[in-house]
Chains A and B, each alone.
Chain A
Amino acid sequence: MNYELTSHNSFAALLDAAVDSIIVSDSTGIMLVVNPAATKLFGYQKKEIMGKNIKMLMPEKDNLHHDGYMKNYLETGQRKIIGLGRETTGVKKDHSVFPMYLSVGHIKNSDGDNFVGIIHDLTTRQQQQRQLEQHEIEIRKLQEKLAHVARISTLGEMVTGIAHEINQPLTAISTYAQGSIRMLNSKAADTTELLAAQQKITGQAERAAQVIGKIRNFAKKTNIKHQPQNCNALISEVASLAEVHAKELGVTLQLQLSEHPDLLVMVDGIQVQQVALNLINNAIESMTNAQDQKQVIIRTTKLDENTAEISVHDNGEGLAEALEEQMFDAFFTTKSAGLGMGLAICQSIIASHQGIIRFRRNPDKGCTFSFTLPTAVGITL
């Protein structure tokens, strides 16, 4: 060992005690000093690597460039890694590659240029990061699943209304068809009228298909994807689905859409519709026992450049003040057949959209739920 600093006892002690690996090499990459942490990390005996080229500790892609880096640095002073630090990878004796943080210092002395590399092993940190990422993916998947189950359960609660909504066109179709047969069998068959009946049948079949399409769309499994969506279109579409439930309970829905026809929000469309449907259904259900006009007002508003708001206003029974705080809790319900998951899911969906969901009592009767969504500023569909 001819390196002059090694004679320094305290320096040797420091090398031995260091937790991070320390390697000193000359300008051609020949290793002059390797501390115990380094031999342990790379899995070599000290004698196996002393005097060898440092490239043996690098993956091939780096090791090809190594000589070039060194030469380039020494000639131009241009820094890629020397004097700086960066995350890179190392290769162990068993050829396994591991993540590390490498900082390299330049030591100028009488013999010429030497380099000291300090290596911090990142294996554990990377594993933790991977685990964290894995957990996040799992949580997202669970949220997707939960939201999906909740959508199905919402549709389940609407099943009577949905059945009715499909039964109506079916009734019209079968009545027209049976009437047509009677007309054709009688002497008084009138082609114009029969033709009109066939057209009605086609229209009613289309109507039934649309109901089914809307439900199928709402019930399908999706991967959450935030993208620019037309706010008014999203809300009108889901309102037409809610209409089914409203009709069943004798409630009318009134849509007050923003005067910005292309108000775009950056959202997962189905999830936002799920939130709106939950709030509308709750509003409808709050009026089961109401006597006077049962009306739900659904409004879309552009609050500012970055924020859109959707609100659902009812004139129902409201909720006892003492219970208001629990409303958003999972499984809190005051309905005999309620699940109590609606508002809890709404809150988690809106939070994942960086929005806020609010509740307020109306001055006269019932309450208003509203939530904000980020607009897709600067993006045009």
Chain B
Amino acid sequence: MTEPSVFIVDDDKSVREALLFLMKSVQLNASAYASAKEFLTLFDPDCPGCLVSDIRMPGMSGLELLQELQQRNSQLPIIFITGHGDVPMAVGAIKNGAEDFLTKPFRDQELLDCINTAIDKDKQLRSKKDAKDAIIRRLSSLTNREKQVLDKVVAGKANKVIAADLSLSHRTVEVHRSHVMEKMQARSLAELVKLIQLVKQEQN
């Protein structure tokens, strides 16, 4: 897995370079971009880490960048760094899903704490997403009949009821059910229900 990285977006070259220097001083991977556009063109959703962005920038603002990433289904955590005047704007950004905000100039420890929290969160989100993706992959390997059986099993119906519902023999339902358990890599009914719930939660 690739190392997490800090993506820095600020139109002010000196602030950008200073942040790169600070990241280097704590051995964090980092890359910097002069605009939201530049970041988006080079953006790789598979790269873990977090984004540290200015709010007020010519062209696309930090808030617009946040919306664009959400539209692209990215969950990359964003920390805004802003001038004092933008505090109300930053509060709005938090409500819209930004991770945190700091006013410039900031204490390094505060920023690094935010960054570490954000990177951890990103890691969790990614492993959750990986797990979910795996379940979805397993789900897609089921036949239609197996899916029907799965739905009923998860709904808590007994094999006998399922057989009647689907006009199948009791034996056939048992075979389907064992295939489902195998394909879904679930060792018990409880585990199967948990897996399905994990996927459903996200879909709602």
A-B contact count (CB 8 A): 78
New A-B pairs, 14, CB < 8 Å, besides A176-B21, A179-B21: A163-B84, A167-B84, A171-B104, A171-B106, A175-B18, A175-B21, A175-B106, A176-B18, A178-B22, A178-B107, A182-B108, A193-B21, A200-B21, A204-B14
Taking a contact as CB atoms under 8 Å apart, the answer to whether B25 and A164 are in contact is: no
Given known pairs A168-B104, A252-B58, the reply for A186 and B15 (CB within 8 Å) is no
Taking a contact as CB atoms under 8 Å apart, the answer to whether A164 and B14 are in contact is: no
Q: Which residues on the B side are within 8 Å of A179 (C-beta)? A: 18, 21-22, 24-25, 108
Number of B residues whose C-beta is below 8 Å from A?
23
Q: Does B17 make an interface contact (CB < 8 A)?
A: yes
Q: Which residues on the B side are within 8 Å of A188 (C-beta)? A: 27
Assembly CA distance A326 to B12 (angstroms): 40
Given known pairs A168-B12, A252-B58, the reply for A182 and B26 (CB within 8 Å) is yes
Within the complex, the shortest CB–CB distance from B37 to chain A, in Å, comes to 14
Bitwise, B18-49 to A at CB < 8 A (1) or not (0) is 11011011110000000000000000000000
Q: Name B59's closest neighbour in chain A (CB-CB).
A: A250
The B53-74 residues at the A interface (CB cut-off 8 A) are 56, 58
Residues in A lying within 8 Å of B, measured CB to CB:
160, 163-164, 167-176, 178-180, 182-183, 186, 188, 193, 197, 200, 203-204, 207, 247-248, 250, 252
Assembly CA distance A289 to B106 (angstroms): 31
Given known pairs A179-B22, A183-B25, the reply for A200 and B14 (CB within 8 Å) is yes
Assembly CA distance A192 to B154 (angstroms): 64
Within the complex, the shortest CB–CB distance from A156 to chain B, in Å, comes to 14
Q: Does B85 make an interface contact (CB < 8 A)?
A: yes
Within the complex, the shortest CB–CB distance from A26 to chain B, in Å, comes to 89
Taking a contact as CB atoms under 8 Å apart, the answer to whether B26 and A175 are in contact is: no
Q: Name A248's closest neighbour in chain B (CB-CB).
A: B56
Q: Which residues on the A side are within 8 Å of B107 (C-beta)? A: 178
Taking a contact as CB atoms under 8 Å apart, the answer to whether A182 and B25 are in contact is: yes
Taking a contact as CB atoms under 8 Å apart, the answer to whether A171 and B25 are in contact is: no
Taking a contact as CB atoms under 8 Å apart, the answer to whether A175 and B84 are in contact is: no
Q: Does B83 make an interface contact (CB < 8 A)?
A: yes
Q: Does B88 make an interface contact (CB < 8 A)?
A: no
Taking a contact as CB atoms under 8 Å apart, the answer to whether B21 and A174 are in contact is: no
Task: Give 21 CB contacts A-B under 8 Å.
Answer: A163-B85, A164-B56, A167-B104, A167-B105, A171-B15, A171-B105, A172-B18, A175-B15, A175-B19, A175-B21, A175-B105, A176-B18, A178-B108, A179-B18, A179-B25, A180-B25, A182-B108, A183-B24, A193-B21, A203-B14, A252-B58
